[in-house]
Structure 1
Amino acid sequence: MPASERLRVKLALAEPALRASTAVLWRAEGLLPRYRAYLCAMHTVIRASVPLMERAAQRAASMARHGDPLGAPLAAYLHDHIREEAEHDSWLLDDLTAAGSGPRAALDPVPPPLVASLAGAQYYWIEHHHPVALLGYIAVLEGHAPASGLAPRLARLTGLPAPAFRTVHEHARLDDGHVGELYALLDRLPLSRGHEAAVAVSALHTTDALTQLFVRLGRTGPAPPVRGAGRSVPTGGQV
């Protein structure tokens, strides 16, 4: 079994809880304030993506110079992915403005501890273990892309204009290809058992932290309806 499949098997055990949390997040009742809160929370997550990859690429390049066989291909992948992910945090600020809030709603508050735990763990593993761990984080964030029809459904239910859903729309279009590239990389890299463990631990931590974050976001607005009542919105992932 290739490394990518071993990671998929491990994640399959944790993904039902994450998908359940997004189902609650996207329920129709109270969706407008919850969507605005979601945009703010995701900005605090996504604005760390490029800095994380930049630091991981620096560490990987340094390790390559000292003979680490993962260093050069990992750094090359991260440099390419940095270009692909650039400005995505700005998309979220534009979405917030179109949704009737504004950039300060995401930029001014102290990011919640769950977000610090989500991204901060990656900094620790990059600096104090091995930057390959970041691939687990990327696998989860990009492996749960929104369903292709989610953006128009959210627009219909909230009454917001289409520009308020650029991030949801673009990630539905882009992330399947990105996660395919990442899994192909995992299968090319000469991973040891320790490297695979680092990727898996990072991925499982990311899944757990995202689940907790979405559960909290799901409490924004009215309480969930009794099962069978009201309308629901198809999920599909985190961004």
Structure 2
Amino acid sequence: MRGAPVTSSAAALLRLELSLVQPALRTAAARMWRSGPGLPARYRHYLRTMHQVIRASVPLMERAAERCEALPRDPVAPPLARYLRAHAEEERGHDDWLLTDAAFCGAPPGELTAAVPPAHVAALVGAQYYWIEHSHPVALLGYIAVLEGNAPAPGLAGRLARETGLPPAAFETVRLHADLDDGHSADLDRLIGRLPLEPGQRSLIAVSALHTVTALAELFDRIATGPHTSGSTHE
């Protein structure tokens, strides 16, 4: 028997669960962005790695929406598909922002697009494909909640420009995501509050979110410790 529709307390509970593990993610991000002579190389490594992650965002959402549209009798699926289709359009082209930033750092587009994605990037993104295909596409909401709930700090782009000596235009993606992602997180919280989620679906969102925190923290740690060579399969 399907549970009663939940209120925004479902989103609040997810945020509470995430608050218990997010200190590890913030610590990893702080190590990645620490001041010092290695910061310019770390930033270029960040651009390359995040391009590998972000270029998967729209295809992930489109595939999850397709799976929803194949579940017409599932009351969660239609509103979830509408959200994912709309959000995919909002996110479309963000991977190109990273290519532009990299160009201002002196990196040609091929340095990002031709690099072999390492296993830890595949672990972060690939788990979502598994849950979309073999469980329920609602899992993707946990992934989105973490990525958009941990936007760069508002002043980070300016600090990075000052400390790296790179042009301010090289940090547009960091700046824009600091501005945009708070509003996206609020939209997601409202959606989670409206969806008639079963207990198992709420658990799936939480499992996806917690995995994303763990995998993203590992990704940041690897950037923080290097090596910062392009195209490495062992980053």
**TM-score (norm. length: structure 2):** 0.91
Which of 129, 132, 136 aligns to 2:138? It is: 132
Which of 185, 192, 209 aligns to 2:215? It is: 209
Matched, 1:123 2:124: no
Superposition RMSD on alpha carbons, in Å? 1.2
- Which residue is 1:19 aligned to? 26
- Which residue is 1:105 aligned to? 111
Cα displacement (A) at 1:90: 0.4
- Which residue is 2:45 aligned to? 37
Matched, 1:161 2:179: no
Alignment of 1:41-80 (within 5 A): 41-63=49-71, 65=72, 67-80=73-86
- Supply the AA of the counterpart residue of 2:54: I
- Which residue is 2:13 aligned to? 6
Gaps of 5+ in 1: 223-239
Per-residue deviation, residues 104-140 of structure 1 (Å, max 9, x unmatched): 2211221010110111100010011000000000000
Gaps of 5+ in 2: 1-7, 229-235
More deviation, 128-137/9-18: 9-18
- Supply the AA of the counterpart residue of 1:2: S
Q: How many residue pairs were aligned?
A: 220
Equivalent residue of 1:148, what SS?
coil
Matched, 1:94 2:96: no
Among the aligned pairs, what percent are the same residue? Answer: 57
Q: Distance in 2 between matches of 1:75 and 1:109?
A: 32
Cα displacement (A) at 1:221: 7.0
- Supply the AA of the counterpart residue of 2:207: V
More deviation, 169-178/4-13: 4-13
Q: Residues 31 and 221 of structure 1 are in contact (CA less than 8 Å); yes or no, is this contact kept in structure 2?
A: no
Q: Residues 114 and 209 of structure 1 are in contact (CA less than 8 Å); yes or no, is this contact kept in structure 2?
A: yes
**TM-score (norm. length: structure 1):** 0.90
Cα displacement (A) at 1:220: 2.9
Q: Distance in 2 between matches of 1:103 and 1:206?
A: 27
Cα displacement (A) at 1:103: 1.3
Moved over 2 A (4+): none
Q: Distance in 2 between matches of 1:220 and 1:103?
A: 21
Equivalent residue of 1:218, what SS?
helix
- Which residue is 2:3 aligned to? none
